[in-house]
Amino acid sequence: MAGAAKRRLAAEIGASEATRFARAAATALVGRLGSDARWQTILAVSPDRFARSPIWPAKIASYAQGAGDLGQRMQRLFQAHAPGPLVIIGTDIPAIRASHIARAFRLLGSWDAVFGPAIDGGYWLVGLRRRPRLLQPFQRVRWSSPYALEDTLANLSGQRIGFLATLADVDGAEDYRRSAEHLGRRLLPRASRRDPD
């Protein structure tokens, strides 16, 4: 898995440290959200060959994301499951809590879509009501740019949209250092640790 996870982060802190972060972040997220009885948790894994890896908890189903850009892979997830509200979140947002997910599902009781905006212009959560039809909000989106949320919303003109809190994702070394308070100081690379003055 080294080299496949968090490429931008890997370029700044090294592939092995980025892989370690990706695994620790996913494990922490599953620990916080995976056993909540209010929803079923499914792991959507990329690259596909890691979908059956023993690193994932046996009690949680894992699926290969398949080919395509981020939007194509998310649309495939929305299409693959029975009708009803479905929420997709990223694993690189250490501040996600169960209360965020519960609120997303509450909003989908009356809204067509829900987003958790990210500080960088993207989003850490997208949810679709998927009734009476499945929307297709991911076409012509400039992924990994400050316009990702704006472009996605442009595809949902006329739909009722709800929003959650704005959270930070972990794309670069500075984000990674800030995430230490959520995931534990053990994730900080040795070179960036400082002794107290």
In this structure, how many other beta carbons lie within 10 angstroms of the beta carbon of residue 13? 20
Alpha-carbon distance values, 93 to 26, 89, 110, 134, 166 (Å): 9, 9, 26, 26, 11
In this structure, how many other beta carbons lie within 10 angstroms of the beta carbon of residue 197? 3
| DSSP secondary structure letters along 139-192 | TT--TTSTTHHHHHHHTTTTS-EEE---B----SHHHHHHTHHHH-GGGS-GGG
pLDDT, tens digit only, all 197 positions of the chain = 333 456 778 888 888 888 888 888 888 888 889 989 999 999 998 888 888 888 778 888 888 999 999 999 999 999 998 889 999 998 888 889 999 999 999 999 999 999 999 999 999 999 999 988 999 999 999 998 999 999 999 999 999 999 999 998 887 777 778 776 555 544 444 333 333 33
Residue range 7-189 forms a domain whose CATH class is alpha beta
Crossing angle for the helix pair 15-33 and 98-107, nearest 10 degrees? 70
- 101-107-45 Cα angle (round to 5): 40
Length of the chain in terms of residues written: 197
Full-model pTM: 0.84
User: Do residues 93 and 142 make contact, with C-beta atoms less than 8 angstroms apart?
Assistant: no
What's the CA gap between 9 and 18, in Å, rounded? Answer: 6
